Amino acid sequence: MKVFISADIEGVAGVVHREHTARDGREHDRARVLMTEEVNSCIEGALSWGATEVVVNDSHGTMRNLIPEAMHPEAEYITGSPKMLAMMEGISPEFDAAIFLGYHSRMGNHGILNHTFHGGVIRNIRINNQDMGEIALNAGIAGVFGVPVVLVTGCQYAAKEALDFIPEIETAVVKHTINRQTAKNLSPQKARYLIKEKTIASLSCLPKIQSVSLQGPFLVEITYLHPGLADAAEILPTVERVNSTTHRFETDDFITAFRYIRSLIAIAGGLN
């Protein structure tokens, strides 16, 4: 059995503020330790269930957050950026299951540190009239390769978002959002135990969880936080301007849609 882990940081227990998540944040190194240990607990759960290979993709910000010397020795990890598939770099049909660790809810939803890829750029992403955040978009990428997402860890709103999109999925709620920068957290030790147990439970339910199958064509609408961001991103010729803050494009291929989304965010993000 091969297991793929996409590891973000906002959904890690104890992480609640930009000082935890930003590369120059005063508490970023502490958050990196918390993230790495939650990843290790997930790896331990996968190995105890019988996984023969575990690959972790560092999926937050610069994608250089996992602490190499503290990583579980039986797993391999992907670090650095840019990556063509970003948070899903490394996924392939060879994997039996994918796990989203430390994830958060989408921009516009409730949830600790919620955003969609770039909190300074994106207000909303809709595909075929369905609002999508990182959980749904990344599950869609896994689905292209036929890999089911079996577990999401994070706050209660990330869990709800995952269950709304994949009803059979397992969730590990390691903290409860109070507001966007405040949460009631499990202790690191309890969070790690829960993640390990939920990893085992999710892999035991693998036959019941189907991979996401999204059917094209895909009509994608990206709404930015303000018109200036849309002005900047309009340089990409594939998009149509719908209104002052929204672009639209259509494609038959989900991976192509994702790559356009990431490109538009990168262009608009240049203003920040």
Instruction: Give the separation between CA 99 and CA 261, rounded to whole angstroms.
Output: 22
Beta strands, E only, 59-148:
76-78, 97-103, 122-127, 130-131
Asked whether 21 and 15 are in contact (CB, 8 A), the reply is yes
- Tell me if residue 60 is catalytic: no
Tell me how far the alpha carbon of residue 113 is from its chain's centroid. Answer: 13
- Name the active-site residue from 20, 72, 115, 247: 115
Asked whether 23 and 42 are in contact (CB, 8 A), the reply is no
Question: Torsion over CA of 39, 41, 45 and 51, rounded to 10 degrees?
Answer: 40
Instruction: Give the separation between CA 53 and CA 46, rounded to whole angstroms.
Output: 9
Phi/psi of residue 152, nearest 5 degrees = -125, 135
**How many residues are recorded in the chain?**
272
| Residues tagged active-site | 115
